[in-house]
Copies of this chain bind each other. A is one copy, B any other.
Amino acid sequence: MATEFELIAGFAERFVTPDSVRVGIGDDGAVVEPGAFDVVSMDTMVEEVHFRRRFSSAEDVGWKLTASNLSDIGAMGAVPGPLFVSMALASPPDEEWVNGFCAGVQQAVDQLTANPQQVTVVGGDMTSTRGPVVVTMTILGSLKGTQPVLRSTASSGETIVVSSLPGCSAAGLEVLRAGREQEEPLEKLVQAHLRPRPPLVLGRELALQSMPSAMIDTSDGLIQDLSHILEASSVGATIDLSGLEIPAPLLVAEQEGLGSVRDWILGGGEDYCLVMTVPTGHVDALQRYATRHGQRPIIIGTTCDARQGVEVIGPAGEMVDEFSAGFEHFETL
């Protein structure tokens, strides 16, 4: 049986301490180069809440926790740096699961970041639990001199843009629940659920060019996350999803009776797209920029005076009065 200290030694062997970190795994704390990092985010995933062993491999869990943390850094307009991982695991610890988790972290870093060698695990904690696995990651990031893109800085009369249409992750979970993950094109939704790909580089580049006035990533659902911007910025919004091109796998999933495209798009969480408000004068430039980089951001509405509230027109052109308001952790159990 691996001990706590052997598991930590395994992390230290696997993850090479980057130049920006003077002291990595193996002391009371990590020491980073002074001035190297100025953004910090923290995310937790809990077994049976954020992942289920029957659907998610250890690699999937490592990938997703990393992706969600990277996404937060990207949504601030920053560049990701070192990671800290705390794991509460059943005893005796499943070493294979821990190794798989680490491999998933590495895969996410390799595939999602521009400088993977700067984004390694340099500290954390390892403990036992009698309950479900709980994994927490803290990530450092660097704005490298640019201003952070906040939630509170949207204005009335701006265009609301998403980096891509959310909803595939929530639909993917339904595909898994239905046991249909082997079927094309439903398998694409499962990939979106298990291996989300936040547009990290896009977030950073847009921040560098000061294009969005406010930005957030979709972790709890489009309406929920957008509402954080609207509330923090004291603006209203008109969202119009009619006439948008719906991804084919979502349409198939709806046709197969797995759920509602509208609910997935408006309320489905864990897609880790970017939602941003963009001053009208910047919209064309943003679209040209994104297209050059193979992205297809989508205009979904405009901000307005707070007194006008929030109006939502659904994908079929219908007024949406009630909708799944996104993932609220304490309503799900």
Contact = CB atoms under 8 A, between A and B. Distances in A.
Interface in A36-65: 36-50
A88 B127 CA distance: 15
A123 B49 contact: no
Given A84-B138, A151-B26, A42 B125 contact: yes
B76 A28 contact: yes
A4 interface: yes
Nearest to A73: B29
A324 interface: no
A38 B31 contact: yes
Nearest to A151: B27
A127 B47 CA distance: 11
Given A29-B76, A46-B88, A134 B141 contact: no
Interface string A107-147: 00000000000000001111111111010101111010000
A249 interface: no
A165 to B, nearest CB: 20
A216 B27 CA distance: 8
A72 interface: yes
A1 interface: yes
A138 B332 contact: no
Contacts of A132: 129-131
B30 A40 contact: yes
Contacts of A140: 40
B26 A127 contact: no
- How many copies are assembled? 2
A84 B88 CA distance: 17
A329 interface: yes
Contacts of A297: none
A232 interface: yes
Contacts of A141: 29
B50 A127 contact: yes
Contact of A124 (B32, B42, B331): B42
B91 A332 contact: yes
A22 B91 CA distance: 41
A78 interface: yes
Contacts of A91: 329-333
Nearest to A91: B333
B127 A329 contact: yes
Given A35-B35, A232-B26, A330-B92, A127 B40 contact: no
Interface of A: 1-5, 22-23, 26-50, 71-73, 75-76, 78, 84, 86, 88-93, 123-132, 134, 136, 138-141, 143, 148, 150-152, 215-217, 232, 328-333
5 contacts: A3-B331, A28-B73, A42-B125, A128-B329, A129-B132
